Structure 1
C-alpha cells in the first residue's frame, strides 16, 4: 500500500524543518570545534608557561611543582623531548584526561608537569548541552514558522485548484484570489484568465450555433412544406425522412443554445410520474412502460417528457429493443438490451457529463440527446445517473425532486 502523498504545505514545512536541523547541527559542530581548540590551546599555553617557570627555578636550585623523570610520563612525550624541545600533550584517560608539559634539562633528565583536563571537558560538555537545547528550540521555532508558511501556501494552492475544478465542472463564474506576487498568485491569475478565455469561447460558440440553427429553421420549414407536395413514392419517403431528421437536429441545437444561455424558463405543476412517462414514449415502438410505484411530483412536465423521450430514443438508437421504462415513485429508469455504454463513454459521463457531438456508439449520432436530457434535468433540479445493468444493456436513471 502506497503512503499518502504530502501536500504542498507539508512539503514546505518538512523542507524548512530539515534545513533548520542541518543549520543548527552545522553551527553546533562548528562552535564545539572552535571552543575545544581554543580551550586546549589556552591550557597548553598556561601549562607550558608553568613548565618554563619550573625550569628556571630548578636552574637556580629552587623547588617547584614539576617532577624529574616521573613514572607516568607518556611514551609520546618521552620520545618527543629527546630533541630538546618543550612538549605539551593531552593524554586521553576517558573520564580523567591529563594534560602534560615536559622538557629536557641538564643531565639528560626530563622535567615534566601534569594536571587534570577534566574541568575543560566538563565545560565543553556543558556548552554542548546548551548548544543542543538552543538548536532544538531554534529548530522548533523555525519549523513552526515553516509550517505556518507552508499551510498558507497550501491553502492558496488548494483554493486555486478548487477554482479550476469548479470551472471544469461548468461554473465559469468561479474566480481565484491572486493574493501577493509569487508563483501561486500567478497561478491564480492564470486560472482566472483561463476562465475568462473559456467563457468567451463558449459564448462565441453558443452564439454561432444559435445563429446557424435560427438561419436553418426557415429553409428547413420550406423543405418540410415542399416535401408534402412531392408525389408519393420511395424517393419522397427518403427525402421526407431526411428532412424530418434535419428538422429534429435543428430543434435540438436550438434547445441546447437556449439552455446554454440560461434563458429557459421552468413552469411547474403537479403531475403523475407514470402519466408523464407514458406520454413521453407514446410515439416510440419497442418501448414498454412498467410502474412499480407511482408518485405525484411538482415539476415541469414538458421538460420531464423531453428528457424521457430523449433517453428512450437514445436507447432504441444506440442499444437494442425491448426498451424498458420503469417508474418507481419519483425515480424513472430507462434500460435497453444492447451492449451497454462503452467503458470510455461511461467514464466521460461520470466525470464531465455528456458532450455534444460526441457519442460512443458505432451507429452514429450527434450526442445531443443525452446533452439535452442532462441540461433539462439540471433545470428541473433532477439527477441523471448512467450505468450498465448487471444483466446487460445500458441503464439511465432519472431521479426527480420530491420537494
Structure 2
C-alpha cells in the first residue's frame, strides 16, 4: 500500500520516547545490596567480637586462677612454717572435707593446689604432707574471682554488641550507596535497551561500580553511533533510489499494454512503496517526524484506514473521541490490516472498543519465535513470521508511529486460532 503524501505540519510536538512494547519487569532481588553488605559486615563483626571475647575470657580466667593458686600456695608454706614454730594458722590437719584428688596427689610428697567446683560456690584448696600420715591443707572461696570474671564477660558482651551495631550501620550505609549506584547503572541500561540512547550513568569514583557505569556509557555511545550510521545509510540509499524508481514508474507508462507491462508496473509499484517505507523508518529513527493533533472518532479513523482493503470488516463495540494525529493512526491501522491479510488469512476483523482497536485474522497466528521477539524488543526490520519471507517493515512503521503518538501496541495469539494486535490510543 502506497504511503499517502505527507504535508508539512503547522504545529510540531516533541516525539515521545515511550516504547511500543513494555519490557518484562525485572524481578526484584530478595535482599538489597545494602542489606547484604550490612549482614555480611555484622556477621564478620560478631565473629571478631566473639573470638576476642573468648580469648580475653580464657586468658583472664587462666591468669586469675594462676595468681590465686600462687597466693594460696604461699599461704600454705607460711602455715607450715608457723606450725613448725608452734604458731597458729588457718591451715588444718587432715580435714575431713579434703577432696579426693587432693588426698591422692599429696601422697607423692608434692604440694597441690586444686579448684573444687560443683558446690554452692567454688573453693580453692592447697595441701601438702608434713609427715608420713599427716596432711596440712588450707582453703578459701573462689567466688570473688568468679564474680570478677562474670563482670568482665558482661563488659565484653556489651562492648562487642555496641561495636557490632556501629560497624553494621557503617556497612549498611556503604551497602546502600553501592546499591544505589548499581541500581542507577541497571536502570540506565534498561532505558538504553528501551530505546533511550541519550541515557547515561555518569560514573563517580574509581571502584568496580564506577567501571561498570563507565562501560554502560561506552556501550550506549557505541550503540548510538552504530544506529545513527545505520539510519544514515538507510536514508541515503532510499533517497538515491527515489530518482531511478520515479524514472522507472514514468517509463512503465510508455510500455505497450500487456501482461508483461502489468507485471513490470506491479513490481515497480512494490519497489516504490518499499523505498517510501524505508524513508519513513529513517524519519522515525531520527525523531524528525512531526505530530498534528486533532480530535477524531476512533471508528471514523478505522473505517478510513481500511477503505481500500478487501476482506476487512469493522465492528464498533464502543466509540471514543481522542486527540491524536489521524493520519498516523490511519497509517498504523492500515499497516496492521495489510500485515494481517498478507501473513495471516482473511477475513480480517477490526473491533473498535473505545480508545482500543483490535485487529484479528484467521491465520496460523504469530510463530512462537516471532511472538517472543515482539514481547521483548518489538518488531525487527525485514523480519516476518511468513514462511515465504517478506520485507517486514509494516509492523516496524506501525510501532514507530505508535511510539510517536504515545500509543501502545500489543501482540498475541488467540486461543481459538489466529493473530491479534491491539492498538491502545492515549486518552489524555
SS at match of 2:290: coil
Q: Which structure features the higher share of helix residues?
A: 1
Tell me how far 1:108 sits from its aligned partner. 4.0
Asked if structure 2 preserves the Cα contact closer than 8 Å seen for 1:387 and 1:396, the reply is yes
Tell me how far 1:327 sits from its aligned partner. 2.4
SS at match of 2:384: coil
Residue equivalent to 2:328: 303
Which structure 1 residue ranges, 5 or more long, are not aligned? none
Residue equivalent to 1:194: 219
Tell me how far 1:210 sits from its aligned partner. 0.7
Asked if structure 2 preserves the Cα contact closer than 8 Å seen for 1:318 and 1:363, the reply is no
SS at match of 2:421: strand
Residue equivalent to 1:141: 166
Choose from 53, 56, 72 the match for 1:28.
53
Choose from 140, 165, 176 the match for 2:201.
176
User: Runs of 4+ in structure 1 displaced over 6 angstroms?
Assistant: none
Asked if structure 1 preserves the Cα contact closer than 8 Å seen for 2:318 and 2:354, the reply is yes
Residue equivalent to 2:131: 106
Alignment partners' CA distance in 2, 1:198 and 1:183: 22
Asked if structure 2 preserves the Cα contact closer than 8 Å seen for 1:95 and 1:118, the reply is no
Asked if structure 2 preserves the Cα contact closer than 8 Å seen for 1:330 and 1:400, the reply is yes
Asked if structure 2 preserves the Cα contact closer than 8 Å seen for 1:317 and 1:363, the reply is no
SS at match of 1:363: coil
Alignment partners' CA distance in 2, 1:74 and 1:328: 98
Tell me how far 1:45 sits from its aligned partner. 0.6
Greater relative contact order structure (CA < 8 Å, 6+ sep): 2
Alignment partners' CA distance in 2, 1:310 and 1:3: 37
| Count of equivalent residues | 402
Mapping of 1:32-71 within 5 angstroms? 32-71=57-96
Deviations 1:180-205 (A, max 9, x none): 22111111111111111111111111
Alignment partners' CA distance in 2, 1:256 and 1:3: 36
SS at match of 1:271: strand
Pick which of 224-233 and 363-372 moved more.
224-233
Go from structure 1 to structure 2 and tell me whether the alpha carbon gap of 1:269 and 1:205 turns closer, same or farther (over 3 Å shift). same
Matched, 1:395 2:420: yes
TM-score when scaled to structure 2? 0.89
Asked if structure 1 preserves the Cα contact closer than 8 Å seen for 2:280 and 2:397, the reply is yes
Alignment partners' CA distance in 2, 1:380 and 1:106: 113
Deviations 1:313-352 (A, max 9, x none): 0000111100112223332221111122223322322222
Alignment partners' CA distance in 2, 1:296 and 1:74: 103
Matched, 1:322 2:319: no
Deviations 1:44-70 (A, max 9, x none): 010011011111111222221111122
Pick which of 342-351 and 213-222 moved more.
342-351
Residue equivalent to 2:358: 333
Tell me how far 1:250 sits from its aligned partner. 1.2
Tell me how far 1:3 sits from its aligned partner. 12
Alignment partners' CA distance in 2, 1:299 and 1:4: 40
Asked if structure 1 preserves the Cα contact closer than 8 Å seen for 2:360 and 2:419, the reply is yes
Alignment partners' CA distance in 2, 1:107 and 1:281: 126
Which structure 2 residue ranges, 5 or more long, are not aligned? 1-26
Matched, 1:162 2:162: no
Go from structure 1 to structure 2 and tell me whether the alpha carbon gap of 1:13 and 1:263 turns closer, same or farther (over 3 Å shift). same
Q: CA RMSD in A?
A: 1.9
Asked if structure 1 preserves the Cα contact closer than 8 Å seen for 2:383 and 2:389, the reply is no
Deviations 1:283-319 (A, max 9, x none): 2221112233334433222211111110000000111
SS at match of 2:426: coil
TM-score when scaled to structure 1? 0.94
Matched, 1:84 2:109: yes
